[in-house]
Amino acid sequence: MNFTSPFSLALGAILALSLLGVPIGHAMIGGSVLYLYLKGMDMGAAAEQLLNGTYSSFLLLAIPLFILAASIMSSGSILDRLTRFCNAIVGRFPGGLAQVNVLQSIVFASMSGSALADAAGSGKMMQAMMTRDGKYTRGFAAALSAVSSVIGPVLPPSIPLVLYALVSGTSIGYLFVAGVIPGLLLGAVQMALIYVLARRRNFPVEAPVPLREMPRITREAFPALMLPVVLLGCLYSGITTPTEAAGLAAAYALLISAALYGMRWGEVYEALISSARTSISIGMLIAGALVFNYVITSENIPATLSAMLQGTQLSPLAFLLLVNLILLVLGAFLEGSTIILIILPVLLPTAVSLGIDPVHFGVVAVLNIMIGLVTPPYGLLLFMMTRIADISMAELLRDVFPFLGVMLAALALVTLWPDLVLFLPRLIGYTG
């Protein structure tokens, strides 16, 4: 590799700017402009790629709308009702509150689509509930809140899958439904491990909720539980496009929060500000990726990598295992959206040429990236939970490793058995 080539210098500039604290989206734009300058190309191409990529993609509008719906549905009263509903279902089993933690992450997935949002919202609340009166150690509660948060972005509506649809051209509807079984599988292996640990460590069991209370608890949580039904029903029936479905989800969230759950105008304002900040940060990352992808295409990197990997005569399974290894390592260091927007477009042409289904590849990739969020040494969720729980990284990691083991087992199943991903999409007409 020529370290003085324009591409190498552009990569060096991006790395240097990132280390100086410049947001990665801005760093990618800066490095790309440097590349264009050194190559003697029109630097206005950076702006052209940015504008064409953002204004020509109607799907991009779905991201801020999903984020807005999540911000509205994350209000305290809704979380309380959903947590009571989850406790009524699984609180009576061994490791009651720990089981509730996983189940509420599955339920909250339909209102979040972001692992970091789940950890900051419901994860923070569950951390406090689990450590109250010394029921669970702070390390175990924080570890569980971190690993259960990765379930949400695999289940619909998933912001990582929306980003993958953006860079791959794959149907967002099929991707959403393809994530259902892998997401539920993640939850199932976590709950099974909790059951085993509860027997071994004598975790407490919550008092059973009387049967006569179930109708009231279900009725209180029912409007919030209907959000994924409204979203997916409109999407898969063909009534709306993915972006229109996201807008409908945001409108439904605002309606039930204001009319049924008493959400105040101040809380609405905070939800709007919070979703705007998150949307802007993701938007800048997408803008930077669009410009840098132009640089990567100019260097013919995807085609070169595809030819090189095909020359090694890797089988589809061997390629997927190699991708798993690459993404798990990268996920432990990089933010997930960066990997989806920069790395996956380079790997996808090879996957397609080897006959790997793009929907299967996308779900496997997102699953890898989500597990990377709780993989040492730099998984973002690990750092977030050490701050929320006020514990050391060593204390957290002791309880994270068993969950990492069962999650990697689930990843292996999804990788080796594509029908786990493709079964539901084929039921609704997918022909891949």
- 194-218 pLDDT, tens digit per residue, is 999 988 888 877 777 777 888 888 8
3-state class of 172 per DSSP?
helix
What's the rounded mean pLDDT across residues 297-303?
73
- How far, in Å, are 1, 19, 36, 37, 41 from residue 9 at the CA level? 12, 15, 11, 11, 15
Enumerate residues 6+ apart whose C-beta is below 8 A from 424: 177, 178, 180, 181
Name 276's Cβ contacts closer than 8 Å, sequence gap at least 6: 64
- Pick the range with the lowest mean pLDDT from 39-48, 50-59, 172-181, 313-322: 50-59
Question: Cα 401 to chain center, whole Å?
Answer: 20
pLDDT at residue 117, as a whole number: 63
The C-alpha angle 88, 404, 278, rounded to 5 degrees, equals: 75
Write the burial class of residue 61 (CB in 10 Å: 0-12 exposed, 13-18 middle, 19+ buried).
middle
DSSP 356: -
DSSP character string of 127-156: HHHHHGGGSS-HHHHHHHHHHHHTSGGGSS
**What is the arithmetic mean of pLDDT over 181-202?**
90
Structure tokens that stand for 205 in this block: 């069991």
pLDDT digits (tens, 9 = 90+) for 87-132: 787 777 787 788 888 887 787 766 655 666 666 666 666 777 777 7
Tally Cβ neighbours within 10 Å of residue 133. Answer: 8
**Nearest 5°: phi and psi at 129?**
-65, -40
- pLDDT exceeds cutoff 60 at 76: no
Rounded Cα distance between 158 and 115, Å, is 10
Helix/strand/coil for 10: helix
Nearest 5 degrees, angle CA 40-CA 42-CA 47?
A: 140
Eight-state DSSP code of residue 5 = S
CB atoms within 10 A of CB 43: 14
Question: Quick one: pLDDT at residue 429?
Answer: 82
Model confidence at 332, in pLDDT bands (50, 70, 90)? confident
Cα dist from 258 to 75, 223, 254, 273, whole Å:
11, 12, 6, 17
224-237 per-position pLDDT tens digit: 778 777 777 777 67
What pLDDT is recorded for position 388? 73
Q: If you average pLDDT over every residue of the chain, what do you get? A: 80
